[in-house]
């Protein structure tokens, strides 16, 4: 039997579900299907790196099962199913021998963790970019005393804070002298590193992990510039890459992400992209705030009111509650300018603003200065999209 939906969404992450919720706010009639590789449970992914601090188990983090989401938002959710092909010309795809047709297709395929080139993962070497990964981490933590985090970016820093706070012995290998390199000025990156060291972090620099081996139930790690060492667990946190393989397979235009216009439309008719996989206005923004903006606009466009996606300045909160940080990131490689420290009377806070000539492009607030967030947000231009 053939099936037909007004909208098929591939992926049940925050991109897929926030879009389905936004469409429902616009229309009770649209027939919506979500097809997902996972069991389709809905959860706020950002909670994963701060769950121990908030004493949340995976069950407590989950917002709803797939069937609860299906009932609440009147969705058909097809779980444990990977979409491997789509006929964009005929607007159909095939699942288990069944043809499913659509009027509009949305790619919400998300991202996957970066891998160290040439490194063969072993037991005890993991990365966390989903609830399934997190459950594996929690499972392994019960036999873990000391662990190594590879990478000092957002996710590495948040997990270091969470695990140190929970009493684990944590080492971190960083390719850069400060934490959060490229996201915050060196003064704040240095303070963040020092705060974690103050919590017990064993921080060291190394140009790159070369290999990992199983070593009597532990993981032996070979570094480039120091002696090998063994850990109970190694958590790789070296960034993410958009999932674009399916998009490439079905002929959509891709660069870093799936290329989409200001409405979220891809290069094939009636195909849209949202979330970590999407590249809109040339930007692949892998945060929740852009997903919310995308979901609202794409939902309106899909229900008949063509609406461009608006990108205001969207702050990112680094979830290190004992040393709070809030920033509006700047893509330093693409924006000309420099960080300028700002006067702040309280020594436990830091404010730095990134100016391109006299135009504010981003800012970073640390410690007590995070309460200045709204003031600095109000100084940002109304849109982060350059007009060129
Ligand atoms: C530990 C951690 C902490 C974070 N903290 C923050 C934070 O504090 N603030 C913030 O703004 N952002 C944060 N982020 C980022 C944020 O969580 C992501 O930007 C967001 O969750 C991405 O959602 P998504 O739906 O685009 O992608 P994903 O969550 O990757 O979902 C993609 C879905 O698509 C499915 N899929 C992929 N391909 C197929 C296919 N071919 N067929 C069927 N299904 C498919 C996958 O199985 C998955 O269900 C964090 C991320 C992590 C990992």
Q: Which domains does the chain have, with CATH numbers?
A: 3-112+241-302 (3.50.50.60), 115-236 (3.50.50.60), 324-379 (3.30.390)
Measured in degrees and rounded to the nearest 5, phi and psi for residue 364 equal -135, 130
Quick: pLDDT tens for 16-27.
999 999 999 999
- Please report the atom of ligand 1 found closest to the CA of residue 275: 26
To which residue do tokens 């891709």 refer? 254
Tokens linked to 246: 């399916």
Q: Is 200 left (phi over 0), alpha (psi -120 to 50) or beta?
A: left
DSSP structure class, residue 166: T
Q: Ligand 1: residues within 6 Å at CB? A: 10-16, 35-38, 45-46, 48-49, 82-83, 108-111, 128-129, 155, 243, 246, 275-276, 286-289, 316-317, 319
pLDDT tier at 332 (50, 70, 90 boundaries)? Answer: low
Q: Is 143 exposed, middle or buried (0-12, 13-18, 19+ CB in 10 A)?
A: exposed
Residue in 215, 240, 244 with CA at minimum distance from that of residue 230: 215
345 has a pLDDT exceeding 70 = yes
Identify the pLDDT of residue 387.
63
331 has a pLDDT exceeding 80 = no
Tokens linked to 369: 């200065």
pLDDT tier at 388 (50, 70, 90 boundaries)? Answer: low
Q: 13 C-alpha vs ligand 1 centroid, how far in Å?
A: 5
**b/e 46-68 (16+ beta carbons within 10 angstroms → b):** bbbbbbbbeeeebeebbebebee
pLDDT tier at 135 (50, 70, 90 boundaries)? Answer: very high
Quick: pLDDT tens for 227-278.
999 999 999 999 999 999 999 999 999 999 999 999 999 999 999 999 999 9
Q: 111 C-alpha vs ligand 1 centroid, how far in Å?
A: 6
204 has a pLDDT exceeding 90 = yes
Lowest mean pLDDT across 125-139, 278-292, 318-332: 318-332
Per-residue pLDDT, averaged over 44-48, amounts to 98
pLDDT tier at 334 (50, 70, 90 boundaries)? Answer: low
Per-residue pLDDT, averaged over 302-318, amounts to 97
Q: What radius of gyration, in Å, describes the C-alpha atoms of the chain?
A: 22
Per-residue pLDDT, averaged over 99-120, amounts to 96
Measured in degrees and rounded to the nearest 5, phi and psi for residue 125 equal -115, 115
Q: 344 C-alpha vs ligand 1 centroid, how far in Å?
A: 36
Q: Is 181 helix (H, G, I), strand (E, B) or coil?
A: coil
Among 9, 11, 243, 291, the mutation site with the greatest number of ligand 1 atoms within 8 A of its Cβ is 11
Query: What integer best gives the mean pLDDT of the chain?
Result: 96
pTM for the whole thing?
A: 0.96
* Residue of the CA atom closest to atom 1 of ligand 1: 49
- Please report the atom of ligand 1 found closest to the CA of residue 289: 11
Residue 271 neighbours by CB under 8 Å, 6+ apart: 88, 104, 105, 106, 107, 252, 265
* Residue of the CA atom closest to atom 27 of ligand 1: 110
Q: Is 53 helix (H, G, I), strand (E, B) or coil?
A: coil
1 has a pLDDT exceeding 60 = no
* Residue of the CA atom closest to atom 8 of ligand 1: 46
Residue 53 neighbours by CB under 8 Å, 6+ apart: 161, 162, 165, 166, 319, 321
Residues above pLDDT 90, as percent of the chain: 93
Q: 222 C-alpha vs ligand 1 centroid, how far in Å?
A: 30
125 has a pLDDT exceeding 90 = yes
- 280 within 8 A of 250, measured Cβ to Cβ: no
Identify the pLDDT of residue 386.
74
Identify the pLDDT of residue 320.
97
Q: 110 C-alpha vs ligand 1 centroid, how far in Å?
A: 5
């Amino acid at each position: 039997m053939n099936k037909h939906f007004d909208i098929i969404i591939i992926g049940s992450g925050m991109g897929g579900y926030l879009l389905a919720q936004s469409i429902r706010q616009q229309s009770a009639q649209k027939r919506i299907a979500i097809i997902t590789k996972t069991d389709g449970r809905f959860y706020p992914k950002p909670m994963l790196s701060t769950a121990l601090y908030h004493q949340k188990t995976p069950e407590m983090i989950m917002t709803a099962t797939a069937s609860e989401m299906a009932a609440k938002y009147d969705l058909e959710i097809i779980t444990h199913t990977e979409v491997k092909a789509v006929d964009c010309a005929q607007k159909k795809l095939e699942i288990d021998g069944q043809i499913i047709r659509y009027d509009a297709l949305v790619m919400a395929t998300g991202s996957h963790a970066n891998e160290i080139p040439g490194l063969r993962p072993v037991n005890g070497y993991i990365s966390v970019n989903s609830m399934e990964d997190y459950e594996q981490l929690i499972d392994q933590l019960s036999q873990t005393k000391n662990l190594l985090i590879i990478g000092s970016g957002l996710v590495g820093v948040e997990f270091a804070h969470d695990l140190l706070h929970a009493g684990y012995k944590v080492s971190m290998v960083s390719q850069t002298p400060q934490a959060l390199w490229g996201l915050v000025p060196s003064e704040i990156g240095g303070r963040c590193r020092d705060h974690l060291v103050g919590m017990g972090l064993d921080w060291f620099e190394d140009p790159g992990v070369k290999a990992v081996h199983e070593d009597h139930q532990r993981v032996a790690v070979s570094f480039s510039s120091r002696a090998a060492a063994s850990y109970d667990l190694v958590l790789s946190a070296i960034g993410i890459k958009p999932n674009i393989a399916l998009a490439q397979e079905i002929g959509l235009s891709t660069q870093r992400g799936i290329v989409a216009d200001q409405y979220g439309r891809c290069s094939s008719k009636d195909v849209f992209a949202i979330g970590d996989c999407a590249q809109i206005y040339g930007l692949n923004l892998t945060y929740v705030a852009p997903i919310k903006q995308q979901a609202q606009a794409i939902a309106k466009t899909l229900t008949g009111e063509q609406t461009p996606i608006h990108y205001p300045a969207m702050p990112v909160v680094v979830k290190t509650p004992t040393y709070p940080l809030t920033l509006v990131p700047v893509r330093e490689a693409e924006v000309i300018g420099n960080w300028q420290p700002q006067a702040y009377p309280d020594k436990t806070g830091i404010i730095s603003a990134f100016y391109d000539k006299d135009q504010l492009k981003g800012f970073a607030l640390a410690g007590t200065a995070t309460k200045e967030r709204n003031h600095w947000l109000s100084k940002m231009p109304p849109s982060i999209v350059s007009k060129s």
